[in-house]
Chains A and B, each alone.
Chain A
Amino acid sequence: MAYSQEQIDEIKRYCEKVSALSEGGITFLLLEKLRLPAGCEPSVCDALLCPVSRDGYPSRLYLSVQVSSRYSRNWNMTNARIGERNWVAFSWRVDIPNPSPAQLLIAHLMGFTKEK
């Protein structure tokens, strides 16, 4: 999946570094030192945004650590091995037609800020 420079610049605001990571026919976006919403602990962690269908979800946000937030989440993916690193993810379904990477990221981050 190709992204425009504008889209990359938009998502770059949320982290220190963005890079592409290709594995298993999927191009993930590796977001280093991603800023997390208020109330999250830690407030920053690395993340891997999968913009296409994987593990039965239309898209996924993998995180380098399990994050505690204002709402408890179902961390149903632990130790997903991608890019020679282990990742975790909580159950969160995002259905937005043709989102930009930043829109997709925000929709996943909402998983830390809303109850259901």
Chain B
Amino acid sequence: MNDIEIAEQEVDIFEFAERGAEVPHARRYRIRIDCEIAIFDTSHASGEAILRKVGKRPCGFELVAEFRHCENEVVEPHEIVDLRQRGLKGFITAHKEIVTITINDKPYRIERGERTVAQILTLIGQTPETYVLMEEKDGPPLPLPANLPVKVCGCEIFHAQVQSGGSS
């Protein structure tokens, strides 16, 4: 037997925050994330789960909780947020400056923007002279030209392997 009284089917937390009122228990919570509305079935969610609702991931984006009176708080990916907490209006997301990429299944942090193949290989202690960098993007891993800048936005999947083949 659930001893929590469900007052509403669905509540919009923004409306309650505007009034400074307590958010009642509900079956679903309407939450503003950037310009989108996301529906949550529970009153608690992790930062990562909230980001996923708008198709974003912590490897590239930061989550910021917006409160009444213009107060903002960064939410860590594993931090659990009480969506019913008083004054919570919703969330905004922001591109991280230092993002996470994976190389050979291991995470590495790197500054967002255009990076060289050499800069990325440096993260695993290698150079383009001996290693090739491959990116898995909308398909299988393909080698990247060593002299072409690589756009890093966060969450990219790279593979590095020893160079093979040569002109003859």
Contact = CB atoms under 8 A, between A and B. Distances in A.
Interface of A: 13-14, 35-39, 57, 69-71, 73-74, 90-96, 102, 106-116
B160 to A, nearest CB: 12
A38 B149 CA distance: 10
Interface residues of B, number: 20
Contact of B163 (A36, A57, A69, A114): A114
Given A113-B143, A114-B132, A39 B148 contact: yes
A106 B162 CA distance: 12
A113 B132 contact: yes
Contact of A114 (B135, B141, B142, B146): B146
A93 B167 CA distance: 6
Contacts of A111: 165, 167
A110 B140 contact: no
A94 B146 contact: no
Contacts of A102: 140
Q: Which residue among A39, A92, A115 has the maximum number of chain B CB atoms within 10 Å of its CB?
A: A115
Chain A to chain B: the 5 pairs with minimum beta-carbon distance, closest first: A13-B140, A70-B145, A93-B168, A113-B145, A113-B143
A97 B130 CA distance: 18
A37 B88 CA distance: 46
